[in-house]
Structure 1
Amino acid sequence: MAATSDGVRSWVSRHFPRLVFLLTFGLLLSDYMSRQVLAAVFPYLKADWRLTDTQLGALTGIVALMVGVFAIPLSMVGDRWGRVRAVIVMAVAWSLATVGSAFAAGFGQLMAARVLIGVGEAAYASVGLAVVLSVFPATRRASLAGAFTAGGAFGGVLGVAVGGAIAAQFGWRWAFAAMGAFGLILAAGYAILVDEDRLRAHRVAEPGAGPGSAERPWRAGLSTVFATPSVLMAYVACGTQLFVAAALVAWLPSYLHRVHAMAPSRAAGVASLLILILGAGMIGGGVIADRVSRDRPARIWSTAVVISALSLGLLAAGFLMRPGGLQLVVLAAGCFWAAGTTGPCGAVVARLTPDHVRATAFGVLTLFNNVLGLAVGPIVIGMLADRLGLQAAMRYVPVAAVPAIAALLIGGRAYPSSLRRLGADPAGAGPANPAGGSPVTGLRRG
């Protein structure tokens, strides 16, 4: 029995970084399943409670608004109190609130439950991403940030598809109950397999970090969360681009139901496929950015500009087309690029902030993502739909990519000076070495 236990501990130790990613990614799936299951039950809530599109958009947007409001303070708590402990508490909180949604008797009670879901989820993306990046090398940051963040899209897919199927079979209340139960199971697994001591043992040192750099006082690097123009533009670009993604995730099921005359369950299934494509694009954007910027890190900005521009052009063309199969193909292509800037932007934020406040930095990124994108996207499109109709309202979705492109262009121009301000090599390889050595190896040149 003891030998078996030792074998399990040895296996966990060997595969710990991958295990951390899988469990943290799984909880992000649960996060967004709890958040986006609402989109699958829009038709049922509209019929049962006679809600307006503005009210439905508000039920979606309130979660993102709470995430935006509480992301920074709760991320700071996670940096100081312990990231693993914070992850577990947050997962239990949003899961219980999701189960509570199943018992709502009206719009007000469901709104209250959605508020609690938002508070529970507020710092999860930032703290969880900081946990993942701490156990993998810096050269994989854009890919990991894109892949991790794609868990939001995949969770949205599962929330809409599974929630829609459960609602059609058993009623919309069971859809909420199932999402909450899944989160509680994953939280228990995380508590058993991940702890702070293992994280410290597997932490990967920052490129060019000097001895004791990880022990710098927590306050010393806090100013770097806002210190440079490039990091500020990364926050803005990521947030405004996610307006596009959030509007798509929230309203595609209803768009397909109303404009393409699909039954609610079929609309949820097709929308799930489009959202799955969106999630694949988040991973693809990160992988492309890592490869393109491997030798010239500043190229990460131009890569993000191209990704955002592709989403703008394809989605604008798609929503102007007549409903039909060809339109869905064009929209699918636009969905692939709709959130592809999340990986590059996350990598830039990680590059320009120190590890000991990185969850806080990602909390700031989460604030911008929610205030500029995830919270307002569903609400704004819902308000436009009440006035113009949903088909016309969706044509405004890709416009949010315009300020994202502008922010990326500004951030890219400021990137070399932002690196110099942090005492880093403008080539992006690592901190400048005053002794004349390589910024990567620290060896002196002959």
Structure 2
Amino acid sequence: MHAAPTQLPHQDGYLVGRGAAWFAFAMTIILMMFDYIDRQVIVSLFPHLKTEWELSDKQLGGLVSVVSVTVALGGIPIALFADRVSRVKSIVAMAAVWSLATISCMFAGSYAHLFAARALVGVGEAGYGSVGAGLISSHFPSRMRGGLMAAFFASASLGSVAGVVLGGVIAARFGWQAAFGVVGIPGLIFALLYLFVKDYGTVTLDPRREQARRSTAEASGFIARALVRSATMRWVCVGGAAQLIVVSTVWSWLPSYLNRFHGMAVQEAATRTALVVLACAVGSVIWGVLADRAGRRVPGRRLVTVAIACLITLFVLLTAFAGPLLGLQLGLGQQLGLVLFAGLFMTCTSGPVAATVIDVVHPGLRSTGAAVLSLFQNLFGLAAGPFITGALSDTFGLRVAMAVMPLFGLLSAWALLRASRSYAGDLQSQQQAQTTEASAPGTAAALAHG
């Protein structure tokens, strides 16, 4: 059953009004923060879990990666449901599930039980980033999307900061189990408040595109065709995922690195890591705005700008982590300073990559298109980083693993540069397709209301 169609916003207008748009933006950001609080709270608990349950680094990394895996696998079905029925109700249900799953982690008595509960957290979070991005992009003018998407995904960094800090503080005072209960409850409250956000109606599609959003299997075929047809979408998915391997490695393993090799207490290591994640949040917004400005006249420059930031991240992190292995004398303050500086560049892809995908996807399939990006970023980025680092650490040690992982930034920069070459052409093709549909008999009226 389809939701009642509503009017699409003008290219430079708001869907309902400024007030409703900013309320939707604020509520979506708040839930995004709780999404990542619940996701990242566990990284500051690694030392406690390693000692109490004698876990390997690969097992610890798996507790982070499993969330991203289930997010990736569940993202497309949920985005399809949201695109066809209700984005707001989908978000409310997702937030309730991941909050309850987080609370259940405090009752885990073994690694298997905790792993299963963490997987359920991912089931709840699946699709939230893509559906939330689709809802925000539909409320606001297109000229603001890059910056808004950057701010939206920067809130993930803020949530990660809160999750890491709260996990360390609560675990030090009340035990690691209590951390899950404290961070899980507020998400339930904001899930109910989200019911006051105004939804945008289902967009009427031509029969070919409507077929693509009827089921997961049909959507998978649409996705495969979209990736083949759109070089921009294909390469930004690769580039965004590769950079998130670097980001997730630093966010997940820096507390353990500081605890093991600099003798920091768990709470202090969590606080230092939180400063790095906070720098990532600031950098995400900065690079979203800079990329938007760079791409105003020449769209491809948006992605060139981001590729440069990826290369800067690579150079700084290699200096911080590989430098000492190669004989470079770095004190704790210098090493942390380098990682903190890298944080200002590390999350450069979050806003521009999401905005680029939304630009080259039909308005009626924005949530689904964003889910494609989410699948790549979660499965091949956020899930891969912590697990690969843990596996390398078990074999070569955590020092070597942290020195090697920044090299994925090379892949990110190369893919984004490839995407920059096709961006203008794909953007023009999408705009022409929408114009053709609007002028077709029987379609103009549908688009006017859909």
- TM above 0.5, yes or no, is yes
**Among candidates 405, 408, 416, match of residue 408 of structure 1:** 416
State which of 40, 43, 48 in structure 2 corresponds to 1:44.
48
* Structure 1 residue 220 corresponds to structure 2 residue 213: no
Quote the residue 1:194 is aligned against: 197
Cα distance in 2 between the residues matched to 1:412 and 1:290? 13
Q: Distance in 2 between matches of 1:93 and 1:157?
A: 22
Between the two proteins, the alignment pairs up a number of residues equal to: 405
Distance 2:400 2:312 in 1: 21
Q: Which amino acid aligns with 1:174?
A: A
Q: Quote the residue 2:275 is aligned against.
A: 273
1:371 is matched with which residue: 365, 375, 379? 379
Equivalent position SS for 1:353: coil
What is the distance in 1 between the residues matched to 2:346 and 2:420? 20
The amino acid that maps onto 1:401 is G
Task: Give the alignment partner of residue 356 of structure 1, picking from 353, 357, 364.
Answer: 364
Cα RMSD, aligned residues only: 2.2
Query: Are the counterparts in 1 of residues 147 and 288 from structure 2 also a CA contact under 8 Å?
Result: yes
Structure 1 residue aligned with 2:355, among 347, 363, 371?
A: 347
CA apart distance, 1:424: 4.1
CA shift, 1:173, in A, is 1.0
- Residue by residue over 1:79-136, the C-alpha shift from the partner in whole angstroms, topping out at 9 and shown as x without a partner, is 1121111000000000000000000001000011011001111100000111111111
Sequence identity, in percent?
Answer: 36
TM-score where L is the length of structure 1: 0.86
Structure 1 counterpart of 2:296: 294
The one-letter amino acid of 1:238's match is: G
How far, CA to CA, are the matches of 1:218 and 1:28 in structure 2?
Answer: 33
Residue in 1 aligned with 2:343? 335
User: In structure 1, what is the Cα distance between the partners aligned to 2:130 and 2:313?
Assistant: 25
Assess if the C-alpha contact under 8 Å between 1:289 and 1:300 holds in 2: yes
For 2:384 and 2:294, how far apart are their aligned partners in 1? 32
Alignment match, 2:399: 391
Q: Do the aligned residues in 2 keep the contact of 1:239 with 1:373 (CA within 8 Å)?
A: yes
Q: Equivalents in 1 of 2:42, 2:373: separation in Å?
A: 24
- Conserved 8 A contact 2:299-2:424: no
* 2:253 aligned partner: 251
Write the letter of the residue equivalent to 1:194. V
Q: Kindly indicate whether the alpha-carbon contact (under 8 Å) linking 2:300 and 2:422 is maintained by their aligned counterparts in 1.
A: no
Tell which deviates more after alignment, 220-229 or 388-397: 220-229
> Is contact 1:92–1:184 with CA below 8 Å preserved after alignment?
yes
CA deviations over 1:372-395 (Å, ceiling 9, x no partner): 110010000011111222122101
Cα distance change on mapping 1:25 and 1:219 into 2, 3 Å? farther
Report the secondary structure of 1:15's partner residue: helix
Q: Which amino acid aligns with 2:359?
A: R
Q: Is the 2:253–2:386 Cα contact (8 Å) retained in structure 1?
A: yes
Instruction: Give SS of 1:103's match.
Output: coil
CA contact (8 A) 2:299 2:423 kept: no
Q: How does 1:77-156 map to 2 (within 5 A)?
A: 77-156=81-160
3-state SS of the aligned residue for 2:298?
A: coil
1:170 pairs, out of 171, 174, 180, with: 174
Contact 2:243 2:409 in 1 (8 A): yes
Letter in 2 for 1:345: V
Question: What displacement does 1:423 show?
Answer: 5.2
3-state SS of 2:129 partner: helix
- How high is the TM-score relative to the length of structure 2? 0.86
**Could you tell me which residue of structure 1 aligns to residue 233 of structure 2?**
231
Shift of 1:323: 4.2
Q: Is contact 1:228–1:421 with CA below 8 Å preserved after alignment?
A: no
Q: Residues 373, 218 of structure 1: CA spacing in aligned structure 2 closer, same or farther, 3 A cutoff?
A: farther
Distance 2:192 2:352 in 1: 32
Separation (CA, whole Å) in 1 of partners of 2:45 and 2:431: 51
Cα distance change, pair 414–357 in 1 and its aligned pair in 2 (3 A)? same
CA contact (8 A) 1:304 1:408 kept: yes
What is the 5 A alignment of 1:13-28?
Answer: 15-28=19-32
Distance between the aligned counterparts of 2:423 and 2:298, measured in 1? 12
Please give the alpha-carbon distance, in whole angstroms, between the structure 2 residues aligned to 1:101 and 1:21.
29
Q: Give the aligned partner of residue 39 of structure 2.
A: 35
CA distance in 2, matches of 1:285, 1:335: 12
**1:218, 1:386 → 2: CA distance?**
52
Change (3 A) 1:360 1:155: same
Q: Secondary structure at the match of 1:340?
A: coil
How many Å apart are 1:415 and its aligned residue? 2.2
Letter matched to residue 341 of structure 2 = A
The structure 2 residue matched to 1:185, chosen from 174, 189, 192, is: 189
Map Cα deviations across residues 347-398 of structure 1 (whole Å, 9 max, x no partner).
Answer: 1101101121100011000000012110010000011111222122101121
CA-CA distance at 1:420 after TM superposition: 4.6
User: How many angstroms apart in 1 are the aligned matches of 2:62 and 2:72?
Assistant: 15
Q: Which residue of 2 aligns with 1:159?
A: 163
Give the superposition deviation at 1:61: 0.4
Deviation at 1:29, TM superposition (A): 0.6
Q: Structure 2 stretches of 5 or more lacking a match?
A: 1-15, 213-221, 325-329, 440-450
Per-residue CA deviation, residues 301-332 of structure 1 (Å, 9 max, x unaligned), is 21111111111111111112434211111111
2:67 maps to 1:59: no
- The CA distance in 1 between the partners of 2:129 and 2:147, in whole Å, is 16
- Counterpart residue identity of residue 197, structure 2: V
